[in-house]
Amino acid sequence: MFRQWVYEEQRLRVIRRLSAKKYQIAAAEIGTGGYFAQQFAAVPDGAGQVFRCGMMALDRKSAVQAGVPPRTCRKYGLCAKETAAALAHGIRRRERADVGAGFSGPADGSGPFWAAVSVRRRSKAWIAVRMIPAFPGKGRQAQQEAAVQAVFELLDGFFAGNPAVIKEFEPAKKYRYCCDSALPVRFLRFFIPWRGDKAGDAVVKLLLLAAVAVGGWSLYQLTTDMARIHESAQVLERAVKTMEQKPSEEQVSTLPEGYLDKFAAAYEVNPEIAGWINIPNTNMNLPVLQHEDNDYYLDHNFEGDYDPNGAPFMDFRNNARELDDNTLIYGHNWESGQMFHSLLLYEDVEFYKQNPVITFDTVYEESQWKVISCLEANTDANIGEVFNYWNFIRTDDPDKMQWYIDEVLARSFFTTTVDVNTDDKLLTIQTCANDRYNTKVCLVARKVRPGESAEVDVEGAAANPDRVKPVRY
């Protein structure tokens, strides 16, 4: 019963993710009698909206109609790994769906069964195939159920960014039998060393191929990085629009007790929303998330998808409901200027004078914060002294609190007129300096006290020539 509940939850999760992304799925089945389509339709909560069509292929003709190249059928037959991959890929392309599922195996359960998934993402197609062995004595339904579950597991892991599952997906181009076209031999011979070529011609072709490969790889890396940055930026733009929209009563009703209503729409997208940070005159108008560890949002975005550009997040040890002595927020430094790159602007005292106050609202409370320091810290003991700021979160000892305050002020690029005491709540925002020493840049601010004006006298601020610097200086 527990396993069945886990399966049902996983299937429901997959359908919700497909629905949230407005994706549709198509399936082509050999040997299952349409079992996947039946199981998919049985899942509640919007299955009909994402399931485009299901098709049973009973012979080579119907397999070709599903999108399998004729040569694949001739070479591998109807019950093969290659056929399952071609079914998933072909039905997805034929039906113009976002996801394709393919099944290939003997209807009587007498041999191995193959379950395949084809997904189109970021203008590329990816294919994963799993083999399900025969289950002697259990009948064909057990094997078919395992094949159906394999497809749901692949989709769940792919959309969740599970590294182990992602590795199972390969570019569709590697499955050549899914493509129904081939380059003319004459064209290949023009570029590739061929039997009968003179030694000089072969060398020239090899050099040309090497140059094309290097150039192609460089272009691929560049375009991939640009595409990732663009997609990550779009996710952040959608997050801003989500926060700006007025939440519905239904969205507000789902909020945990104590949450501010303005976070209702963002909570619906990602329940791990912990707050929102805004720094004037920068691109830092961003959601702040919180996971059970500090690794997840290094490579996942606000929408929960795998993204090497990550998302801003609060340290898992911090408490958003009752702020600790020091709240830590982390974010990547994009050279494109996005995410936390703008923190480096605070190394200039003139920028501080124009932007001495920032906003960080938790899901429970709106707050303004007065900047007291921008510092650079070494975090690698192999290089030199380490300022262990990331482990200072809470203390009952006023002397330790004063130690932290003194340290961040001594290391600051500038001095301010803002007073700080051991009863204040601090906010430390960290990003990478992006240098070869792997130092970190931190912006430190204290919370505006109850009844205190948020105005700051910046005339007394000045560059700090005696700041404590990392050893590399």
Give residue-wise pLDDT tens across range 14-49. Answer: 888 888 888 888 999 888 888 888 877 777 665 677
pLDDT at 185: 44
CA-closest candidate to residue 103, choices 127, 140, 129 = 129
**What is the rounded CA–CA span in Å between residue 355 and residue 13?**
43
Cα 102 to the center of its chain, rounded Å: 26
**What is the rounded CA–CA span in Å between residue 344 and residue 374?**
8
Question: Of 73, 374, 432, 442, which is the active-site residue?
Answer: 432
Mean pLDDT, range 261-278, rounded to an integer: 95
**What is the rounded CA–CA span in Å between residue 107 and residue 110?**
8
Phi/psi of residue 253, nearest 5 degrees: -65, -20
Task: Indicate if the pLDDT at residue 191 is higher than 90.
Answer: no
Higher per-residue confidence, 180 vs 215: 215
Average the pLDDT over each of 41-45, 146-150, 392-396, 420-424 and give the range with the smallest value: 41-45
Mean pLDDT, range 254-277, rounded to an integer: 95
Please give the C-alpha separations between residue 77 and each of 72, 112, 174, 396, 405, in angstroms, as whole numbers. Answer: 7, 14, 19, 72, 72
What tokens does 405 get? 């305050």
Higher per-residue confidence, 373 vs 84: 373
Task: Indicate if the pLDDT at residue 404 is higher than 80.
Answer: yes
pLDDT at 122: 72
**What is the rounded CA–CA span in Å between residue 250 and residue 253?**
5
Question: Of 300, 332, 341, 442, which is the active-site residue?
Answer: 332
The pTM of the full predicted model, rounded to 2 decimals, is 0.55
**How, if at all, do strands 357-362 and 368-377 pair?**
antiparallel
Higher per-residue confidence, 435 vs 251: 251
Q: Is 432 a catalytic residue?
A: yes
Long-range contacts of 260-265 (CB under 8 A, 24+ apart): 260/361, 260/363, 260/364, 260/365, 260/366, 263/363
Phi/psi of residue 274, nearest 5 degrees: -115, -20
> Which residue type, as a one-letter code, is found at position 391?
N
Phi/psi of residue 115, nearest 5 degrees: -120, 130
pLDDT at 393: 96
Task: Indicate if the pLDDT at residue 189 is higher than 90.
Answer: no
